[in-house]
Amino acid sequence: MIFDISCIIPIYNSYKTLLRCVLSVYTQKANKTIILIDDGAYDQSGKECDKLSMVADSILVLHKFNEGVAYARRDGFELANSEWLTCLDADDMLPSSAYRILQTIANKTNVDIVKGCSLMCSEDSIQKTLEWIEYANLKKMYIEEFQIQKNKNDIQKSFFRSKQGFLVLYMFNKRIYKDIVTLDLRYGEDTLIAYQLCENASTMATCESTTYLNIVNNQSATKQKYTRRRFDNFVAMDFIVDRLAYCTSYAIKKSIYYYYLNMIIFNIRDAIALDGQVYVRELWMKYRLVFLKYMSLRSKVFSIDTLRFTSFLLFPKLYITILSQRMSMATDRNSKHA
């Protein structure tokens, strides 16, 4: 069964990468509609969107004043008429097998959400990385590597433990896009919406196949100098914590603080690396506060997570050094595979 899928692409000064992004969706084997949301771009992006819409009836364009990516996505989701929805950042791409994999799993499982995985690469290794992804995805689909979460508790635990609360990894049924709260956030807005979708879903399937290519761009928001806007991530997480205030599941509450602590650790690492040392003390205080809440939930059984988070509390500089080295090694491995 070939699904009807809408892909929402917020556009803001993305002229240089827009064409390759749209083509990566247009060539997918699916009945798709591409909705380009021109979020008040002041480069040639808006005109390029109009040109693309004249080439294919399946490409729609909405021009609006700038409100930010969260509201751009919201307007796109509300405009879409397809049964299934996805989204894509304008500087990233989809592997050619992305929709085929997601549709195959949705057909076999009849779930509300299908979530894939992402892979990061640099601008100069896109083609080699895409070739490697297609080879790896073919092997994974042959042995049908996916897991099903059959109730809300399992979905929420999977969301937090996977550490991949990125909306761009989801293909979801439009019927669960209801009562979604949108906040004016530059960072963490996708995690906020993804969590609310998981809250509305009854079933979910997750797979190990790569369905999203994250292209590293030195001009992107996540590569710029560390500023207070990065604290938007914590606004999103505090919103989610408040939603779970009356949750009685120990496993879910443990998972959310696990997710939250890891997020703060990575923010501290980025603040040090991206000239944001002025924020490190504040981030450190945030970590201590969340760590205390995490420890208040712990059972008497010792765990490796407790050791890791305590180690960061006692030896933060050493922990950050080791973490940075491990991430550098992982990036090198990805480059070699590509």
How confident is the model over 17-36, as pLDDT tens digits? 999 999 999 999 899 999 99
**pLDDT of 328 higher than 80:** no
158 lies in the same domain as 265 = no
127 lies in the same domain as 155 = yes
Tens of pLDDT, residue by residue over 264-305, are 988 988 888 888 788 988 998 999 999 888 888 765 455 677
Q: 155-194 in b/e burial notation, b at 16+ Cβ within 10 A?
A: bbbbbbeeebbbbbbbbbbbebbeebebeebebbbbbbbb
User: How many residues make up the chain in this entry?
Assistant: 338
159 lies in the same domain as 101 = yes
Q: Specify the pTM.
A: 0.86
Tens of pLDDT, residue by residue over 147-190, are 899 988 888 888 887 656 789 999 999 999 999 999 988 899 99
Q: Cβ(252)–Cβ(304) under 8 Å? A: no
Q: What CATH number does the domain containing 68 carry?
A: 3.90.550.10
Say how many C-beta atoms besides its own lie within 10 A of residue 274's C-beta.
15
Q: Which range marks the domain in which residue 263 is found? A: 225-337
pLDDT, mean over the chain: 86
Domain boundary pick from 184, 201, 221? 221
119 lies in the same domain as 190 = yes
102 lies in the same domain as 245 = no
Domain count, the chain: 2
49 lies in the same domain as 176 = yes
333 lies in the same domain as 191 = no
Q: Which contiguous run of DSSP H or E holds residue 309?
A: helix 304-314
pLDDT score recorded for residue 252: 84
Tens of pLDDT, residue by residue over 114-140, are 999 999 998 889 999 999 998 888 766
195 lies in the same domain as 271 = no
153 lies in the same domain as 201 = yes
Q: Cβ(184)–Cβ(72) under 8 Å? A: no
Domain boundary pick from 197, 221, 245? 221
Nearest residue to 33 via CA among 82, 106, 71: 82
What is the C-alpha to C-alpha distance for residues 67 and 85, in angstroms, rounded to an integer? 21
